[in-house]
């Protein structure tokens, strides 16, 4: 049985939301894999040009058309609003989001944290533009739709190069390879093989307690995010050999009273298991004394930070980028 046959046998609507990215990129030549412009091809055209998606019930909507390196609050809010809207529709079985690779891991984590959906929300992408001689976007998008229709699928995941990653774990690990994403020690949730999803572990957490009417865990968290006029200012600093506290002290000198976005948090990417150079630690202690929230993560690609005597809370396993987002969401006004 082909993938198209499998799709046509499944009831319910999949909504495909486009935000731009390389998957919608266009170059002047098919052999140009780096000089393209992201976010040029409409998501409706991406779906239309994939034979495996010719059957089945779909809706397509263009939420944004951006290079994901330029992702911002306005686009995030538009995306959260549209995903929440479609999740609440009983006839919608899942939502697919086409996205650029550069900030996909951040958007995935944000959607999971804000929406906590019981239906699947599948982010997908491409490392080659739509105009490439052999683009990877069509297969990734086809896999994403297949995943969105899978019975039992839930939560926010990403699918790229046939691997299914949890929003909590996914990171971009390579600058140009087609298989650019990794899930660290946890590994992928599963893979898409021959039109079938083979699971290795459970879907993302929190989904089982989602409201069965709205399709989200807590509608109040969505409202809280959507009414934000700005994201709390949280900066990332790096601990390294010969580090000092200058960057932190500059942030304190110029950021504490900066209106309308004063410094509210710092995530430190520590060495090893979250250790921090003593000079940098002294500055971070001053920041905490001034009321700035500080969270300790690690610059290492794998492994969690462990408890240490610094008194700085750890990131609960999150890498620096996601730890920053978690702290920003925590600092949003009620």
* Contact (CB, 8 A) for 79 and 17: yes
63's tokens: 């939420």
Question: Cα 173–24–319 angle (5° rounding)?
Answer: 25
* Contact (CB, 8 A) for 252 and 290: yes
The residue behind tokens 């911002």 is 72
Kindly give the pairing relationship between strand 190-193 and strand 196-199.
Answer: antiparallel
Catalytic annotation present for 98: no
CA distance 265 to 259: 15
Q: Which of 22, 101, 124, 131 is catalytic?
A: 22
Neighbours of 102 (CB within 10 A): 18
CA distance 218 to 117: 9
Fill in the DSSP letter of residue 203: P
CA distance 5 to 55: 8
DSSP string, 133-186: SS-SHHHHHHHHHHHHTSTT--EEEEEETTEEEETTT-EE--SS-SS-EE-GGG
Measured CA distances, 63 to 82, 138, 246, 307 (Å): 8, 19, 41, 42
229 contact partners, CB below 8 Å, separation of at least 6: none
Q: Which residues pair with 14 in a beta bridge?
A: 58, 94
DSSP string, 33-97: SSS-BSS-S-HHHHHHT-GGGSSSEEEEEEEEEE-GGG--HHHHHHHHHHHHHHHTSTTEEEEEE
Residue numbers annotated as active site: 22
């Amino acid at each position: 049985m082909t993938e198209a046959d499998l799709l046509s046998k499944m009831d319910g609507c999949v909504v495909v939301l486009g935000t731009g990215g390389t998957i919608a990129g266009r170059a002047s030549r098919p052999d140009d894999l780096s000089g393209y412009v992201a976010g040029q091809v409409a998501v409706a055209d991406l779906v239309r040009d994939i034979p495996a998606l010719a059957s089945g019930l779909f809706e397509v909507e263009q939420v944004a058309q951006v290079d994901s390196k330029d992702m911002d609050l306005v686009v995030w809010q538009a995306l959260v609003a549209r995903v929440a809207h479609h999740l609440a529709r009983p006839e919608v079985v899942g939502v697919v989001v086409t996205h650029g690779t550069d900030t996909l891991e951040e958007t995935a984590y944000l959607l999971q944290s804000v929406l906590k959906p019981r239906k699947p929300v599948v982010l997908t992408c491409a490392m080659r533009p739509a105009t490439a001689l052999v683009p990877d976007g069509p297969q990734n998008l086809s896999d994403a739709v297949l995943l969105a229709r899978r019975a039992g699928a839930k939560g926010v995941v990403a699918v790229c190069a046939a691997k299914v990653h949890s929003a909590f774990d996914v990171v971009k690990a390579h600058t140009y390879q087609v298989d650019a994403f990794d899930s660290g020690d946890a590994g992928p949730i599963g893979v898409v093989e021959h039109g079938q999803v083979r699971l290795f572990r459970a879907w993302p957490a929190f989904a089982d307690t989602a409201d069965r009417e709205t399709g989200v865990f807590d509608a109040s968290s969505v409202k809280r995010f959507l009414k934000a006029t700005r994201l709390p200012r949280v900066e990332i600093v790096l601990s390294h050999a010969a580090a000092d506290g200058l960057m932190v002290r500059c942030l304190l000198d110029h950021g504490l009273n900066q209106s309308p976005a004063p410094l509210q948090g710092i995530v430190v990417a520590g060495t090893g298991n979250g250790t921090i150079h003593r000079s940098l630690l002294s500055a971070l202690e001053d920041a905490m004394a001034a009321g700035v929230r500080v969270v300790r993560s690690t610059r290492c690609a794998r492994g969690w930070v462990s408890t240490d005597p610094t008194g700085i809370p750890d990131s609960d396993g999150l890498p620096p980028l996601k730890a920053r987002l978690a702290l920003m969401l925590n600092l949003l006004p009620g």
